[in-house]
């Protein structure tokens, strides 16, 4: 006769093998039902109905699946974002939802800083063009190229990651602006940046704009064609936050082609892997006009070996606390 487990926890999918680390944290009284799929349509209703909690990685979670979570005490996402989760359906079902904000802060901040410094120093463009130099060498320095302490960086979103970016930028001497209406008065004094009350003020003053805000009704399309046009001529844009913040690839291409935008670095796209678009074709083909001016990384700013473990352990701990105490830490109440 086998021992009956006290709880059943579902895990939709996983990018790093079997959920062995989660099993260690959740304990011997938990049965893990590993769906191993990002296809929500494959989630059988009878399996969903058994779950005391559900952990979600890359799969979407919509109303149809949620309607079968009749026993579920909470849904926990491994990551920070939750655009694929139907929060309204969860609220209607009385199921609380939590994300996993306390991992990967250092990695995303480091990634953003690497993009900022490399584009500011025009490293990728120097590398791309130096391959074709057959005469001269140092004479090929790219211009304009200003000192860090003569440049302004605008941080859109001064939460955990935005603050970590500010802490990393400060020793280089950049002037740092921050826009985040969610932060209390005096936050800028404690952290060390100049607050702008309007996004417009930040955009027109910044030589580099780096995005660290969520995608919601107020921020989606933040840097569409109109937003890009408001940038200071010759500005650099870095996005390690959400693809929906710069969802207008036509506008991004036009801004780069015209030179109004000097360069852009993007870690997140609306569609991943990216589909076909003239800008992406030029990037893939290393076309001369774009050489070193558009950098795209495959949504891995969050990743390090340590962060991957931290993410899994923290998400599992959230579920274990829920099962033991009935309390869901990091609960999200966002209604956007």
Give the active site residues: 242, 272, 299
Rounded Cα distance, 234 and 152, in Å: 12
Rounded Cα distance, 281 and 97, in Å: 39
| Cβ neighbourhood burial of 305 (10 Å; 0-12, 13-18, 19+) | exposed
Rounded Cα distance, 74 and 54, in Å: 7
Rounded Cα distance, 334 and 27, in Å: 31
Q: What is the DSSP string of 219-286?
A: TTTTTSHHHHHTSPTTEEEEE-S-GGGG--HHHHHHHHHHTSEEEEEES--SSSS----HHHHHHHTT
Match 């207008």 to its residue by tokens.
Answer: 248
Question: What is the DSSP code (8-state) at residue 68?
Answer: T
Q: Strands 53-56, 97-98: parallel, antiparallel or unpaired by DSSP?
A: unpaired
Say if residues 48 and 10 touch (Cβ distance below 8 Å).
yes
Which residues, including other chains, have CB under 8 Å from residue 321's CB and lie 6 or more apart? 327, 328, 329
Bridge partners of residue 32, in order along the sequence: 9
Say if residues 211 and 156 touch (Cβ distance below 8 Å).
yes
The torsion of the CA quartet 196, 199, 203, 204, rounded to 10 degrees, works out to -70
Rounded Cα distance, 132 and 134, in Å: 6
**Nearest CA-CA partner of 194 in 150, 232, 206, 146:** 206
């Amino acid at each position: 006769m086998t021992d009956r487990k006290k709880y059943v926890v579902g895990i939709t999918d996983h990018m790093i093998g079997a959920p062995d680390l989660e099993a260690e944290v959740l304990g011997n009284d938990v049965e893990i039902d590993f769906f191993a799929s990002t296809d929500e349509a494959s989630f059988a209703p009878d399996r969903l109905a058994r779950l005391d909690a559900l952990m979600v990685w890359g799969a979407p979670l919509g109303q149809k699946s949620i309607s079968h979570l009749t026993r579920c005490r909470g849904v926990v996402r491994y990551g920070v974002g939750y655009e694929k989760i139907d929060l309204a359906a969860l609220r209607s079902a009385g199921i609380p939802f939590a994300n996993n904000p306390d991992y990967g802060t250092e990695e995303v901040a480091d990634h953003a800083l690497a993009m900022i410094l490399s584009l500011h120093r025009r490293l990728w463009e120097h590398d791309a063009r130096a391959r074709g130099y057959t005469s001269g060498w140092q004479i090929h320095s790219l211009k304009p190229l200003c000192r860090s302490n003569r440049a302004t960086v605008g941080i859109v979103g001064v939460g955990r990651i935005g603050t970590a970016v500010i802490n990393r930028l400060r020793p280089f001497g950049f002037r740092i602006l921050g826009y985040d209406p969610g932060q209390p008065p005096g936050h800028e004094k404690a952290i060390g940046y100049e607050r702008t009350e309007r996004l417009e003020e930040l955009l027109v003053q910044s030589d580099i704009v780096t995005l660290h805000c969520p995608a919601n009704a107020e921020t989606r399309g933040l840097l569409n064609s109109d937003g890009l046009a408001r940038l200071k001529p010759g500005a650099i844009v870095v996005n390690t936050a959400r693809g929906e913040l710069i969802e207008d690839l036509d506008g991004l291409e036009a801004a780069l082609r015209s030179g109004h935008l000097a360069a852009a670095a993007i870690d997140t796209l609306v569609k991943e892997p990216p589909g076909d678009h003239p800008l992406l074709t030029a990037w893939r083909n290393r076309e001369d006009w774009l050489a070193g001016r558009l950098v795209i990384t495959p949504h891995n700013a969050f990743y390090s070996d340590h962060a991957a473990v931290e993410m899994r352990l923290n998400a599992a701990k959230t579920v274990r606390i829920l099962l033991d105490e009935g309390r869901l830490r990091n609960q999200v109440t966002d209604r956007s």
